[in-house]
Amino acid sequence: MLNPIEGEIFYIDKPLRWTSFDAVKRIRSVLARRSGKKRLKVGHAGTLDPLATGVLIVCTGRATKRIDELQAHEKEYVAEITLGATTPSFDLETEIDATYPHEHIDRALIDSVLPQFTGNIMQVPPAFSACKVDGRRAYKIARKGRQPDLKAKELVISEIEVLDWTSPRLTLRVVCSKGTYIRALARDIGAALGSGAHLTALRRTRVGDVSIDKCITVPEMVEMLENAEVLTLEEWENQQNNNKI
């Protein structure tokens, strides 16, 4: 029996163009209706951009207290980077704003550059991000045409592996710490290669021990929740009262 009030943890494969909150909202609506608790706590551990897919951990009830712990875990991504062009957001959210030569880039150059991005590195977050600058979200400043004053942050990238190189597209597997912006990594790799770059696809394949093969799609999750036995608010309150006796 599912007990969303006491707390459950679900592993979702977030679909393309959904925000992380879209997935949370869908699950909350089903569980709130099934349990009879209108203000059911539901949250996610680690935001994924709308243009990214993959592992999203969703917590309910008292399990939301574990969100900080869960989102602090190491993460793994598969990222497709297109060289020779940049965008203000460093991904496909915004249009290309500049193009650069990339014909000089070969696998040998890539292999020589990538090691500088492993270990403890400093990274400036994207202007189009949820980082706060003087109490305001950076993306709100950027969308008004201004450049937010973002400071470099220390993070850890433990692994970068080339999965495919078909110019101008470079596909990487990246294992990194919390707080890493793969969009910013694409920007920095492009600059180090003497060109420009932006992220054209991103899939989170692991968070801690939760790998993508342990996740289910949102429609599959909704079907499971619709068919599962769910503890109702009345049943939960009765349990609490019995525990006090």
Beta strands at 136-137 and 132-133: parallel, antiparallel or unpaired: antiparallel
* Residue 174 φ/ψ, nearest 5 degrees: -125, 130
* Neighbour count for residue 35 (Cβ, 10 Å): 22
User: Is 209 a residue of the active site?
Assistant: no
Q: Which amino acid is at 8?
A: E
Alpha-helical (H) ranges within 36-174 are 67-71, 107-113, 138-142
For the chain, report the end-to-end CA distance as a whole number of angstroms: 23
Alpha-helical (H) ranges within the chain are 20-35, 67-71, 107-113, 138-142, 182-192, 218-227, 233-244
Angstrom distance (rounded) from CA 75 to CA 53: 13
157, β-bridge pairs = 119, 176
Query: CA of 2: how far to CAs of 67, 88, 230, 235, 237, in Å?
Result: 19, 44, 5, 12, 15
Catalytic residue of the set 49, 68, 149, 164: 49
Residue 48: partners with Cβ closer than 8 Å, 6 or more residues away: 14, 20, 54, 56, 204
Residues labelled catalytic: 49
